[in-house]
Amino acid sequence: MPRFLEAARLRISRGREHLEAKRLGPVASELHMLAGDAAILELREVADAARAGEVAARSFGQTADQDSLDACASALERIARELDRLKPPADISRCES
């Protein structure tokens, strides 16, 4: 799980940068890969949010509307919150007796 979380956070960071520059093709790619990784790990909330963001990013390529940008931003934030919730304890050894 730690590798997934690290990679996912990197994808979210890159997705935000691309979104800010209105480059939605790369946003869709990052979210597509994130959705696949999350699905493999059975992280349904993350996978669903990533798929929704991917759809919105691809929609922007056809419509160039603000709603698509907003939906992408919302999906990225939802995923970031889910990743924070999944964060493993900083030092498990302290919990052992």
pLDDT bracket for residue 88 (50, 70, 90): low
Inter-residue contact 53 to 31 (CB < 8 Å):
yes
* 6-14 long-range Cβ contacts below 8 angstroms, 24+ apart: 7/37, 8/34, 8/37, 8/38, 8/46, 8/79, 8/83, 9/80, 9/83, 12/76, 12/79, 12/80, 12/83
pLDDT bracket for residue 1 (50, 70, 90): confident
Summarised one tens digit per residue, pLDDT across range 18-52 is 999 999 999 999 999 999 999 999 999 999 999 99
CATH assignment of 2-88?
A: 1.20.120
Q: Tell me, what's the pLDDT at 96? A: 44
Verdict on whether the full-model pTM lies above 0.85:
no
In the chain, what are the domain boundaries?
A: 2-88
